[in-house]
Structure 1
């Protein structure tokens, strides 16, 4: 059989390796389908899972100490405030002291199957994955309590699929190392409840002023609803939203069988009383809180992200100037009085706020009076005269200083009084009117150029509060804030440019670095010549006879400023080329100021600015092109002569200065030598 022999001859001899391959092929061919497609994958999966679990059990948990805190820093890197998940307001409470109602409420609303699943909930994860797949990015977590704890303790807050896998593995590892009860205890002592409170102990004290063990069902349900959105559901900020969230928690407790509907209704109807939360900030608290709010609004950083850590906020604060501001208030206000004060200082070139104090004590009164709207009094006259110089007035224009009744709107009367009814009873120049803070001059100017022109100028320079075109507009009767007045004076200090005040220079997060971008470009809103004229005129406030002269002793160089006083408010606002500062003093309840209290703003301003002049020294302004320097007699407002005993030096726009010399004191000139005349007989004798 040739064919059979030929077939046999082409097979090599069977060796050991060939018998093994042949037998394996026979096993795969002869094995039933369930062994090939079910048993083998299960075996491999079981082996892999077992190996993974043994590895997770053997490996130590990550160290929590690597958590990067959120830091608020000054311009030179000094830490104003920092915190991590342990927080600056945290209370560790053992599980036996946490009421069952709070534990059950938390489980009901966060993870109802906590005691049934093993670290992760496949049902929740599948639902979350489906939602994420449809949206194209992670929008829903599907996290168990174990996963939330792992995320807070060991991971960043980024929302990526890679991090979710890491989170699941660490959650399995955590449950291999610790019991469910211990994990729940850690969670309740770690989770963020808002306003700087981490853990149920701190939250109970913060919101209700009592130990967590004393919480009622209603209070427990309120707290249990906060971790989902501490800022959204804060009962201190959004009581209606918080109440709705409490109802949701109570309904979930009914659904899982923790309480009855009757108990839920009774808890919902129970009235709750809350404590006032004060954010846990130690250094420069008014400024730091403002910077935090700016970071949230301008850089879209959430409260939860700030408190969970990993963020660097570089602020504009100068610690030396901040200390000087705090010291100026502390050393100037009577210790036994309830009178308040506010101070804000900024770089006029950039709007960067260098110091801010919003009250005497943040712990007892966190309300920031830098933003309080109060009557600015005569400090508003800087706006008035800026408008006047652009509407035909010059420093040489005069107004008689005496009690005056004005007729306006055809049939309305308005009588103006000076402070203390003290009048010069003679014509005043603009420099004298600013130095003395003369109200008659101010109202005359206002009505002459038109109140609408003054309002337009105020808007350009930074006043955003309501203003009305009345004669009293010139006297600062319409409330505005110290921050707005600082912005107005910054426009004068920097040569006529409007700047945007800000407290944050840069925000660094794990995902991005954002640098301050002030709203809009720096825009010139008044001519540099007018800004210089106003600066030079307001120097007279600190000269002899000026309303600020008594505090001149604290300064170390020239400055421009204006005082302001109403029945309830005392102000001083002024600047150097490098810094502008606004100070307000008064009572929160608008209590009238005493005679001594009316003069408290000046020393605060001058003490601070004296330090500022040493901290940020500067060369004084030089007049820009387009101005003419003239020496005039303030009595006649004409060019001074060598016989004028009192003079003032002013700057005028070209062609607008006085042209004639003082008519009251004509120049004294040297008389020419007269030739002597002799009688005829003397001439005859001499010639003889």
Structure 2
């Protein structure tokens, strides 16, 4: 009895001392433990995601890859795998498992060191959120206290959900959702049992047991997990054996991007880092919705890439990328060796590398890096005459042997008509589109491939704009006494410069002169000398001041007559913004690309409040931030009318007076005036020596600018001749490259894919304008009602007062340059 009493006293004292010790340790560490509020406001480090306006994922940024999932969306076999392997008594213990603690204590006694193991899922969660992974008594004690607090404040399912979303799986994947995507490119519900077991085994050693870094160790760990599931009766013997036999097939997968828009995504990334700093931008789970829709962005990407391939094809084939063996002297390497060598050639843009296995006179058999094969037909390579220089191409090929031989590494792209020989285009291009009513960027593509060059030409490349400047010059003219019916002399100019001893001779392109020509027709036909004469009539400073109304930098505009021909340099975005003024009735909007931002709880923390072009808004309307009106609605409409003639031309072809504007190719497209009443306008642009080509234009609700040129400012786009292998439907373009030939087709393809999301509305005639029937030859009033006349729009008081049958000669500006 004495011994029993002694044991009872000893036990009581041990319990009291143990309680005092635990309480003392709790008091000592209390300030370092997370508060109840922190436990309930647990935040996962989640990457920033960028979405199109209609919800398609464009990009994901952040060091940590995480796709948060709700517990009910996690497949039960995956939950079973984790519980069987990490904590089979999870739903029974209260944060600390006595059995696990005893096992860890035995390990300590045997080895003399703190070993891993013994930690419950709750303890692992505590360590992942609040502690380090160092093996010390202090960390273990804190871990236990935090685990107890977690269990007292959170439900078991809440703890398990946090655990499954928090733990690390290697290769920057955090949480089961990210692990499924990184290793298998799948959603959780699409994983096989073997794949679930693989993921459940990763937390033990994610960097050294993952199936990419160490497939052998990963397979061993998977077997352990499957064995635990079998022992816990979570799977059958048949399930176990089938999963064990499943091969280890995995590779790194990127984020589930459903729409590629890398140039736009990079704009968002840079802006978000500037606003919030890297830590918040990359790791706080922000979701950014841009102004661009998936459809319009895809249309822009497709237009840029297809147009550059079309340019490259008409200028000739620059040769194969490599020759892996010579058919005459070498034997073909083994298939495995060929596949290994093909891995050295990246997919770029639309182009896929392939090796030529065999050829006939009219086709070739190709092998791709993924082991698949395809036939390249003659129709897909008949274009490939040799490239000589930007101005010359060699003879059209007759057989496949004229293009490449067996063993060559070539690039191909897939088209609607099958595989087509390709090459990574040498020139660059950009398309940027705006909503003219508020400046929202509807699409932005800054080059052929972000992989090749991250330079965003849509917003960064300052290039000479050429004739894209002319609508702004004509806008100034309409504000300074000219009308669409005014005659200006379209005749060569010779201006002697005493200082340099040479004459400046601006010329039309093509070098054709029509004599007296109406302002409407001169803009539609892009007459260079008329633009110069208009500039002279107004004075350079007047024109420069007018151009600044469209957002162009006053200090960057040339102070000489070359301004009228587009010698100033601007980005495509700046040009598009200027054209938006015409499209929206005279308002200068501010381009923007972030529509809204939501945080990790889907609470909206930012919404753009752009300045809106609002003709009918009342000044006291506080719901609308009105953009400044920089030109009159009437001026914008008149310039729009002139650019509409660039599409449709004028005169009468039946009476041999018909003429085309520079944008006549739009007439053959799917975006012409349709049954819904859609109108379209635009202006070409080509610089000296064809180093920059442009097209800018708009429909109601969408304005876009396209640019094509080389990044090397010294390189010209050159010219081409007809390819005898191709019929007229395959080669609509030849001769010297120009805005109408090089940039306009890209703009057309973009609009064809984009305008279905834009309401088809006609350009309404603004109040205050008057209409009068004029004679086409003289610009005077006419009493006739035939092909020699048309109705024209005029600002009040500017319509002609004389009729064509009067005896007086029409006034022609520029008959004598001394007038200016």
Q: Which bracket does the TM-score occupy, shorter chain normalised?
A: 0.5 to 0.7
Partners of 2:441 and 2:144 in 1: how far apart? 41
- Matched with 1:513 is 605
Partners of 1:355 and 1:152 in 2: how far apart? 45
Residues 1:75 and 2:78 are matched in the alignment:
no
Q: Structure 1 residues 362 and 170 mapped into 2: Cα distance closer, same or farther (>3 Å)?
A: farther
Q: Structure 1 residues 408 and 656 mapped into 2: Cα distance closer, same or farther (>3 Å)?
A: farther
Q: Deviations over 1:221-278 (max 9, x none)?
A: xxxxxxxxxxxxxxxxxxxxxxxxxxxxxxxxxxxxxxxxxxxxxxxxxxxxxxxxx9
What is the SS of the residue equivalent to 2:759?
coil
Residues 1:305 and 2:280 are matched in the alignment:
yes
What is the SS of the residue equivalent to 2:549?
helix
- Matched with 2:505 is 415
Q: Deviations over 1:265-305 (max 9, x none)?
A: xxxxxxxxxxxxx99987211111112223334xx122332
What is the SS of the residue equivalent to 2:591?
coil
8 A contact 1:556–1:613 mirrored in 2? no
- Matched with 1:143 is none
1:593 aligns with one of 713, 717, 720: 717
1:294 aligns with one of 271, 283, 291: 271
Partners of 2:256 and 2:492 in 1: how far apart? 53
Q: Which has the higher helix share?
A: 1
Residues 1:540 and 2:540 are matched in the alignment:
no
- Matched with 2:578 is 488
* Equivalences for residues 140-539 of structure 1 within 5 A: 150=129, 169=146, 283-297=260-274, 300-333=275-308, 334=310, 335-336=422-423, 337-371=425-459, 372-406=461-495, 414-424=504-514, 426-464=515-553, 466-509=556-599, 513-518=605-610, 521-539=626-644
Partners of 2:444 and 2:591 in 1: how far apart? 12
8 A contact 1:442–1:475 mirrored in 2? yes
Partners of 1:664 and 1:584 in 2: how far apart? 47
What is the SS of the residue equivalent to 2:50?
strand
Q: Structure 1 residues 477 and 170 mapped into 2: Cα distance closer, same or farther (>3 Å)?
A: farther
- Matched with 2:203 is none
Alpha-carbon offset, residue 610 of structure 1? 2.7
Q: Structure 1 residues 305 and 377 mapped into 2: Cα distance closer, same or farther (>3 Å)?
A: same
Q: Structure 1 residues 458 and 66 mapped into 2: Cα distance closer, same or farther (>3 Å)?
A: same
What is the SS of the residue equivalent to 2:439?
coil
8 A contact 2:683–2:696 mirrored in 1? yes
- Matched with 1:556 is 672
8 A contact 1:152–1:308 mirrored in 2? no
Alpha-carbon offset, residue 621 of structure 1? 1.3
TM-score, normalising length from structure 2?
0.51
Residues 1:647 and 2:789 are matched in the alignment:
yes
Partners of 1:353 and 1:448 in 2: how far apart? 36
Alpha-carbon offset, residue 331 of structure 1? 2.3
- Matched with 1:614 is 756
8 A contact 1:446–1:474 mirrored in 2? yes
2:65 aligns with one of 77, 84, 87: 87
Partners of 2:292 and 2:148 in 1: how far apart? 42
Q: Deviations over 1:110-133 (max 9, x none)?
A: xxxxxxxxxxxxxxxxxxxxxxxx
- Matched with 1:132 is none
8 A contact 2:64–2:173 mirrored in 1? no
What is the SS of the residue equivalent to 2:510?
helix
What is the SS of the residue equivalent to 1:638?
coil
Partners of 1:665 and 1:362 in 2: how far apart? 65
Partners of 2:445 and 2:780 in 1: how far apart? 46
Partners of 1:341 and 1:167 in 2: how far apart? 60
Alpha-carbon offset, residue 646 of structure 1? 2.9
Question: Superposition RMSD on alpha carbons, in Å?
Answer: 4.5
Partners of 2:469 and 2:559 in 1: how far apart? 14
Partners of 1:427 and 1:593 in 2: how far apart? 32
What is the SS of the residue equivalent to 1:540?
helix
**Which range moves more in the overlay, 656-665 or 301-310?**
656-665
Q: Deviations over 1:535-565 (max 9, x none)?
A: 1111011113101102321123221110001
Partners of 1:506 and 1:305 in 2: how far apart? 16
Number of matched pairs: 468
What is the SS of the residue equivalent to 1:624?
coil
Structure 1 unaligned segments of length 5 or more: list them: 1-38, 89-145, 155-164, 174-184, 193-211, 214-277, 667-688
Partners of 2:443 and 2:30 in 1: how far apart? 56
- Matched with 1:603 is 745
Partners of 2:295 and 2:507 in 1: how far apart? 41
Q: Structure 1 residues 65 and 172 mapped into 2: Cα distance closer, same or farther (>3 Å)?
A: closer
Partners of 1:505 and 1:559 in 2: how far apart? 27
Partners of 1:168 and 1:444 in 2: how far apart? 85
8 A contact 1:631–1:639 mirrored in 2? yes
Alpha-carbon offset, residue 361 of structure 1? 0.8
Q: Structure 1 residues 455 and 445 mapped into 2: Cα distance closer, same or farther (>3 Å)?
A: same
Q: Deviations over 1:486-518 (max 9, x none)?
A: 000001100000001111011223587111134
- Matched with 1:569 is 692
Residues 1:580 and 2:670 are matched in the alignment:
no
What is the SS of the residue equivalent to 2:536?
helix
1:628 aligns with one of 754, 770, 773: 770
What is the SS of the residue equivalent to 1:419?
coil
8 A contact 1:72–1:315 mirrored in 2? yes
Structure 2 unaligned segments of length 5 or more: list them: 1-16, 67-124, 134-141, 151-166, 175-206, 209-253, 311-421, 612-624, 650-659, 674-678, 720-733, 809-820
Alpha-carbon offset, residue 614 of structure 1? 2.5
Partners of 1:65 and 1:318 in 2: how far apart? 30
